[in-house]
Structure formats: structure tokens, C-alpha cells
Amino acid sequence: MTNADMAKQVAEKPGFIAALDQSGGSTPKALRLYGVQEDAYSNDEEMYALIHQMRARIIKSPAFTGEKVVGAILFERTMDGEIDGIPTAEYLWTKRNVVPFLKVDKGLADEKDGVQLMKPMPELDALLERAVAKGIFGTKMRSVINAANAEGIAAVVAQQFDVGRQILGHGLMPIIEPEVTITIADKAEAEEILLAEILKQLDALGHDKQVMLKLSLPTKANLYKPLVDHPRVMRVVALSGGYSREEANNKLAANTGIIASFSRALTEGLSAQQADSDFDAVLADTIDCICEASKAG
């Protein structure tokens, strides 16, 4: 059964999860870093076509396989697109042996109590049904924590787990992502509060359920080891959060049992202007070093 094979790979295989899920607001920045300026497109459709080309180039690159890339998180339009005439999620699994995930949140609400909750998702059930039909294994959704505010952090984690239960109801694996902003002065305190709130929610989840967690690299190494070891957690992955790839890899390597799920740190050094041979070489080196940092932990 495909889902059982996917679950085994996500839970056990060495490697990391690629985050290829930049959405509307972050797409122009992702394209700029890739060497594609705003004057290269005149509307959203052209912009999304260009980012799809970039993602397809990454996915088709020789090093981008399940040997080191356990899974990949897609943006909704990427899921709806195709690579070489094959739906993207199907291509990932059947051609690259990479498990497909889908970003499902619709962005962030305004800040309150030092955090940004997710915006309402009234069409989530319909999106999840489409994801299941397209062979998606799991989902990802992001909130942001900007201060060590106990009330705010509790609200973030409660919302994440409420939506997580809705996702589990569709037979999908939710990646819960309460990102702690890496530049805040009270980051370490925020992380301690976050850990306690996640443990509360995990203990209330039910013995037959699991989730995944995507967390900012902690100030204190191995702070999240209780989450790595928790029976309700399939896997803990880390976002790069604005750190350079070198910084992110160094911090990741200090955390036992956590693997990477990098976005900007994955595409760092890639350019639309590169010949395929140069592009493939840079990406192969990147995949190697992120994979090694994930194993080192």
C-alpha cells in the first residue's frame, strides 16, 4: 500500500524534507533570489508559471531523489500542476521516490498577544479531499510566534492541533508549524512555553494518532528531544527560519533526531541563469550537506 510505504519513509528514512511551498506573498522574493526579476512577468499567472518552472527544475535534478530527500512540501498550484505531463505529486512519488506534502494554510492573521494565528480556512475540507485524490501524504500549516507570551503561544498551538485533527480526519498526516521568529529577544523563553503547550496537546491527542512538527531551530540544543521521543509524533523537522544554510546546518547538527525541512536554505545558490550542469552540481552539494546535518543530529 502506497500510504504505508510513504509513512515508513517519512518516519524512518535518513534525509530531509524539501520545502517548495512559497505561496503568493513570498513568490516574488523566491524568484528574485533565483535571478528572476519582477519585469520578467506581468501578472500572477506568469509569475506562478515561472516559480513552477523553478520547482520542476529542482525536482527533476538528478540528486533530488528519495535517497536523501525524504519528502517535499508543495504549494497548492504546484500540486495542481504537472511535470512532464504527470501531476506533480504523482511525479514526485513514482519518478523520484519523494513523499508529497501540501501547504494548506491561507496565510497569517494580524498579530495579537505576540503571535499570528492562521487565517480562517473555510474551504479546507474541499482542499483536503482534492489532496487525497492527488496522492498527497500530508499537509503543512504555519503560525508565527513573535514574543514569549503564554496566552498567545497557547492559542497558536491550540489552533494548530484543532486543524490538525481535521486533517487527520481525511487520512492525511499534518505537519504542525508554530514558527518562533529567530530574531526576537526572548526566543529561548518562547521556546520553553511552546514545548510545554505542544506536550499538553500531544498528550490529549489520542493513543491511535500521530502528527509531525516543524519547529524553528531552538536556542538550547536538544530542547525538543521530548517531542522527538514522543509516541504521538511521527517526526520532528526544522525550518531554516532566515538562517543561512551554513548556520542552519550547524544548529541542526546539534539537535538529536531532528531533520531539516528547509526552503530558502535549500535554494540558496541556485539561479535561472545557470547551465543545467552547474545548477545540478550546486543542488547536489546542497542536498548532501543538508542531509549530513540531518543525520548528524
> Does residue 173 contact residue 211 with C-beta atoms inside 8 Å?
yes
Helices (H), the chain: 2-12, 27-33, 44-60, 76-80, 88-96, 124-133, 150-168, 187-203, 225-228, 245-253, 264-267, 276-296
List the catalytic residue out of 103, 187, 214, 251: 214
Q: List, as one string, the DSSP characters of 51-115.
A: HHHHHHHHHHSTT-STTTEEEEEE-HHHHHSEETTEEHHHHHHHHH--EEEEE----BPPPBTTE
Candidates 177, 183, 166, 161; CA nearest to 116 is 177
List the catalytic residue out of 177, 179, 191, 197: 177
Find the Cα–Cα–Cα–Cα dihedral 150, 151, 157, 161, rounded to 10°. 140
> Does residue 106 contact residue 140 with C-beta atoms inside 8 Å?
no
Residue 134 is a catalytic residue: no
Candidates 187, 184, 254; CA nearest to 225 is 254
Residue 111 is a catalytic residue: no
Cell of 80: 495542481
The amino acid occupying position 209 is K
Reading phi first (left if > 0) and then psi (alpha if -120 to 50, else beta), residue 266 is in alpha
Active-site positions read 177, 214
